[in-house]
Amino acid sequence: MRRYSEAVKADVRRRMSPPHRQSVAQISAELGIHVITLYKWRKAWRLQGEVVPATQKDPEGWGPADKFTVVLETAGLNATELGGYCRERGLFPEQVDRWRQAAQDANAQPLLTMADQKDLQKRHQEDQREIKRLQQELRRKDKALAEAAALLIASKKIQAYWGRGRGGLTAAADRRKALEILDAAMAAGARAREVAALLSVGLTTLQRWRRQFVGDGGGLDGRKGSRRLVSHRLSDEERQRILLTCNQSEFAALPPGQIVPILADRGIYIGSERSFYRVLHDHGQAHRRGRARPPQGPRPVPRLEARGPNQVWSWDITYLPTSVRGVWLYLYLVIDVWSRKVVAWDVAEREEAQIAADLVSRACLRERISKGRPQPLILHADNGNAMRAATLESRLEELGVLRSFSRPRVSNDNPYSESLFRTVKYRPDYPRRPFRSQEEACSWACAFVAWYNHRHRHSSIRFVTPDQRHSGQAVELCRHRARLYEQARQRHPRRWSRGTRCWRQPKVVWINPPRPENAIDPATLVMAA
């Protein structure tokens, strides 16, 4: 084993000490002493109270042991001696004072017991797990938000340029544009499958288009197609004749559906109506003309969410038969979607928007709903004449109520009113004979609404009454039921193979809930019953 003289050790200690502050690696490279030997020497000198940080860091970056050693060495020095000490070691008196104060503050703190240290460590671990979970949730939400924004931009581009559905041959320029939209959306964080759904093109089709552009196909369809020539196809002369006939001044304003019969009356047959349309389409002359609007696409699905009373109302009108054949009474019902409470009703001799407007006004007055609420009330209905009337629209604007409508001929868009009418017509006390007068119908409707709101245990709201849920009593009532069931389970645990019955009140009620891929918890979705 190689031995070093005291002079070498003193030189090493001088190099490690301030103001030189050479690192162990640097000293080892200059003097040829192994780093393990240097670390052993530094450890021994520290135990003797020497200041040997052996690092090139600023004094503020020294370890606690070196700082505390400086505090001990300067404890008995006066101001002049302290100044000299600091200059020798490359320090400032303010740094030494700050380290001394930190040592005093650390000693002033009470020592933690073993139990306190374990509890502190446990809380720290829990905090770290919670931070990790929140970071994961934040990343997931950021990713979902970026995808939603990318899909929104892609949908606007698709509506502006693409505008086509499935079927038919896609030109090379259109394919290239679709791939550009796909690449831009994916670069912004969208998934390829979602963009393909917006384009109404299969994902494998987009992948095939990309391979064709990478190869020598130029994006064109590589299939050769049928080589068989159809013998009964229209000749070039016949196609030209169809085109000239349609463009004559006599037929210029007529569609092929009228041109073909007129020619047939004159004993002329060139081709079928579909052949006329096909030839016009091939020559770019089959565009829509006139004042008629083009066919509308599918209506957007109304999606309404209610998390409390008086957020979403649904209303409709149903027929009540009378003793006079062909004469009906009309039952108006307005229901709160979240609580299922009937907030307004009326029986009238006619279906009229003014009656509906007065009914909604009374309901808003009774429920204390005024214009300027932070969350405006939404009134959902179907597409009846009374629902679409301007009279009702102007009244709702005065009340600050927003309107929502079902899609045409889709009864599922207004399920709560339809379910309520089913309850009305199938009640055991519903009259078997028609109503003889409007007063009799009003009397029965009043009794029904009182029973429905205050006595009827609704299955979709955990068998509480609509009035209890509307007023906020249902939560405590269901908690009492849950405690009662748990006590019964503890008395006879063998009677329960699973947990007790769920009495939690549904928090969210939807009209047309979102699809499962939109990350909505299915347990919170409540449908009409």
Give me the mean pLDDT over the 309-326 stretch: 95
Q: Which of 377-381, 416-420, 497-501 has the lowest mean pLDDT?
A: 497-501
Q: Using CA atoms, how far apart are residues 16 and 24, in angstroms rounded to an integer?
A: 8
Q: Please name which of 275, 238, 273, 240 lies closest in space to residue 259, comparing C-alpha atoms.
A: 273
In this structure, the number of other CB atoms found within 10 A of the CB of residue 166 comes to 9
Average pLDDT, the chain: 86
Give me the mean pLDDT over the 1-18 stretch: 79
pLDDT bracket for residue 92 (50, 70, 90): confident
Q: Determine the pLDDT at residue 367.
A: 94
Q: Determine the pLDDT at residue 164.
A: 58
How far apart, in Å, are the Cα atoms of 155 and each of 199, 262, 349?
Answer: 8, 45, 48
pTM, entire model: 0.52
Three-state secondary-structure class, residue 380: strand
Q: Helix, strand, coil: what percent of the chain each, to 5? A: 55, 10, 40
Q: Determine the pLDDT at residue 226.
A: 58
Q: What is the 3-state secondary structure (H, E, C) of 104-153?
A: HHHHHCCCCCHHHHHHHHHHHHHHHHHHHHHHHHHHHHHHHHHHHHHHHH
* Angle, vertex CA 505, rays to CA 503 and CA 508, nearest 5: 145
Give me the mean pLDDT over the 384-391 stretch: 93
Q: Is 301 exposed, middle or buried (0-12, 13-18, 19+ CB in 10 A)?
A: middle
Q: Which of 100-104, 303-307, 308-312, 341-345 has the lowest mean pLDDT?
A: 100-104
Using the structure block, give the residue that is written with the tokens 């090379």: 172
Q: Using CA atoms, how far apart are residues 511 and 314, in angstroms rounded to an integer?
A: 10
Per-residue pLDDT reduced to its tens digit, 480-495: 999 999 999 999 999 9
Q: Using CA atoms, how far apart are residues 221 and 208, in angstroms rounded to an integer?
A: 10
Q: Which of 116-130, 435-449, 498-512 has the lowest mean pLDDT?
A: 116-130
- The CATH class for the domain spanning 304-458 reads alpha beta
266-269 long-range contacts (CB < 8 A, ≥24 apart) are none
Parallel/antiparallel/unpaired status of strands 312-321 and 378-381: parallel
Q: What is the DSSP letter of 407?
A: P
Is pLDDT at 261 greater than 80 in this prediction?
yes
Q: Using CA atoms, how far apart are residues 129 and 119, in angstroms rounded to an integer?
A: 15
Is pLDDT at 519 greater than 60 in this prediction?
no
Q: Which of 63-72, 132-141, 518-527 has the lowest mean pLDDT?
A: 518-527
